Amino acid sequence: MSSYADAGVDIEAGDRAVELMKAAVKRTDRPETLGGLGGFAGLFALDLAKYPQPVLASSTDGVGTKLVIAQALDRHDTIGIDLVAMVVDDLVVVGAEPLLLTDYIATGKVVPEKIAAIVSGIAEGCVQAGCALVGGETAEHPGVMAADEYDISGTGVGAVNADAVLGPERVVVGDALIAMGSSGLHSNGYSLVRHVLLEQGGLSLDGTPELLEGRTLGDELLTPTRIYALDCLALAAECDAHAFAHITGGGLAGNLARVLPDGSGATIDRSSWAPQPIFDLVQRTGAVARADLELTFNLGVGMVAIVPADRVDDALALLTARNVPAWPLGVVEATGTRDEGTSDGRTGPVRLSGDYAGPASTWR
């Protein structure tokens, strides 16, 4: 006679994981949150006084192969912050306040303490974003995934009033671009990072490459993604931000182009900032071309705000007060067509000119 346990699924371990994560999840409660963990669905009461013309926004994402680094180092308490960042910072681009998030964790074997650590990171990310973690699912997949292997994803829901939706329709020629600094790699490009640094370069996650100034490579690669959601909402409310661009895969040019109206573009001066040392380490170790770096990574700019030209000083002061590195990046220009080429030959309305500041000035 066989049982579910004989097939490798431990229901009691799953129940234990839920008990261990309850306190972390409780930290994310909002007044609109109804009930708690353990139901079949999470409940959230939309505040119709705040959103009389509600438009719901949704986003779903994962963390990609950054998970491999967390698993190799057996450190699981920050990867959830990355997950929340990837979801909520897509929601806020349209002006939506992140309201709630649900997560999904698939693993070869449920280790309650590991699952609780993952969820603690997700909860911390939700606290930083101001949204509620209303539920999730942990699935055990023996025979399909290795015992120490897992993958995570999350889905978020946000709300914005119909007359406050942000995007290309609000952007006008002459608007200013404000760069918001990243915390490093964030959660994009890790397949290239692992290929260049670990496979080709033979670097150790416990090592301290000179360029990282005493930090281990593992610490650098697990630096959590910066969450901009509340900062962007403040810019929208206080500085009349017209649009945001979340800089993920596709880089600065590709993602900024998504929020520019037809017939407009922008010229970005690379010399206005210096990418962090981790990007220089990838470039030098793998002799990666600048065009490939710019297509793959954020290179130090995690979010771009588009604001009226006369609100630049206000926007920079607000971000400084919120401890977000920020600087002027360029202006929206009239181009006539959206398919003019960039300075590196790719098609698109955003041009990058000049050389980066700092050591990255040598990239070609």
Which residues make beta-bridge pairs with 38?
none
Give pLDDT tens digits for 42-57. Answer: 899 999 999 999 999 9
Q: Which tokens is 171 given?
A: 């952007």
pLDDT-based confidence at residue 343 (cuts at 50, 70, 90): very low
pLDDT-based confidence at residue 3 (cuts at 50, 70, 90): low
Give CB contacts under 8 A, 24+ apart, made by 29-38: 29/132, 30/99, 30/130, 30/131, 30/132, 32/99, 32/132, 33/100, 33/132, 33/134, 37/135
What is the SS3 string spanning 330-357?
Answer: EEEEECCCCCCECCCCCECCEEEECCCC
In sequence order, what E strands does 277-336 have? Answer: 301-307, 326-334
Which residue, among 44, 51, 238, has the nearest Cα to 160 in the 3D structure? 51
More confident residue, 227 or 135: 227
Give pLDDT tens digits for 67-114. Answer: 999 999 999 999 999 999 999 999 999 999 999 999 999 999 999 999
- Length of the chain, in residues: 364
Proportion of the chain above pLDDT 70, given as a percent: 94
pLDDT at res. 5: 66
- 3-class secondary-structure state, position 301: strand
The values of phi and psi at residue 250, to 5°, are 105, -15
Is residue 163 predicted with pLDDT exceeding 80? yes
Give the pTM. 0.93
pLDDT-based confidence at residue 190 (cuts at 50, 70, 90): very high
Is residue 291 predicted with pLDDT exceeding 60? yes
Proportion of the chain above pLDDT 90, given as a percent: 86
